[in-house]
Amino acid sequence: MSYRSRIFVRLIFAPVLAIFVYFVIIFLAAETAYSMYGEGFLQHEGVISLVQGIGGIAIFATWLVIKKKMIFPSPTWAVGKPYDWYTAIVGGGAMLGISALYFLIVPNLGISAINKALDEYKTLMEVQNASQADMYMYVFSLCILIPILEEIIFRGCIMEGMLELGHPYVAIVISALYFGLMHGQVIQICYAFLSGIILGIIYYSTKNIVMTIIAHSVFNFFGYGLYVFFEVSERADIVILILECLCIPVFGVIAFFMLKLRPDRFPEKEETGDINKMLPGRHT
């Protein structure tokens, strides 16, 4: 396959196909809930998310197994070093800090279109009339299953394929753009894109998809799940906000050193960008 063909496949065809399959999974999950609950299926967001997470992980994990058996590049699943965990956890905090600052700044811009999008976003984030069991299913899916599924798709399939082209920072930005656009709603697209940049840096610097799953889970739990399970006082909320914002510069420093250390940690021929020179099974 020519280099131009690989560019088309890795940057356009494969990502669009993966996202299309993801949306089909979401549609089928909603259809499953509709068949169970009829017109009131939207009140069972937990069931929808649970089916979406389990079904999606099964489908994309199967694809990763097939890729690995065909000796195609596949993401690494490993426990990781302690500094990989620091990078992931602080990265999740930095994502929360950026999102918090984003939601502090955006409403004060005074732009009517943005205010309208914010109202739509608030409505979208509300889980209407959910039972306690359904709410727990939703939080479990949001904090565990969805991070696993989306990281398999966006870092394990999409970004991993882009890295074969030999331009890692382009891969980080473009995969983050797909990650943002996938969320659909204007307000979500912006902060999801910024979060995707951080997740891409974590994946590239640690070369371990488990770390991006941890960061994504931290983001979803402290951004939503924490407030479902616990009564968070206003003072505690301010402390959490400060800690999240402090994670931004700390993550910047950690990411700088992790990226500097990467060539020594993973001295492989993939850095040349020539797919024909890569060692078989480089991700095992």
| Helix (H/G/I), strand (E/B), else coil: 113 | helix
Calculate ∠ Cα 74-77-83, nearest 5°: 125
**Distances from the Cα of 211 to the Cαs of 75, 193, 244, 283, in angstroms?**
11, 18, 18, 15
Instruction: Please give the tally of structural domains in the chain.
Output: 1
Calculate ∠ Cα 16-153-103, nearest 5°: 90
Please report whether residue 251 resides in a domain.
yes
Return per-residue pLDDT of the chain as tens, 284 residues.
688 898 999 999 999 999 999 999 999 999 999 999 898 887 888 999 999 999 999 999 999 988 888 777 778 899 989 999 999 999 999 999 999 999 988 888 878 888 888 887 777 776 656 788 888 999 999 999 999 999 999 999 999 999 989 899 999 999 999 999 998 888 889 999 999 999 999 999 999 999 999 999 999 999 999 988 888 899 999 999 999 999 999 999 999 999 999 999 998 654 444 444 433 333 33
- Separation CA 204–CA 247 (nearest Å): 19
Going by C-alpha positions, the residue among 196, 191, 232 that lies closest to residue 215 is 196
Whether the pTM exceeds 0.75: the reply is: yes
Please report whether residue 284 resides in a domain.
no
- Residues of the domain holding 198: 3-272
Please report whether residue 279 resides in a domain.
no
Please report whether residue 278 resides in a domain.
no
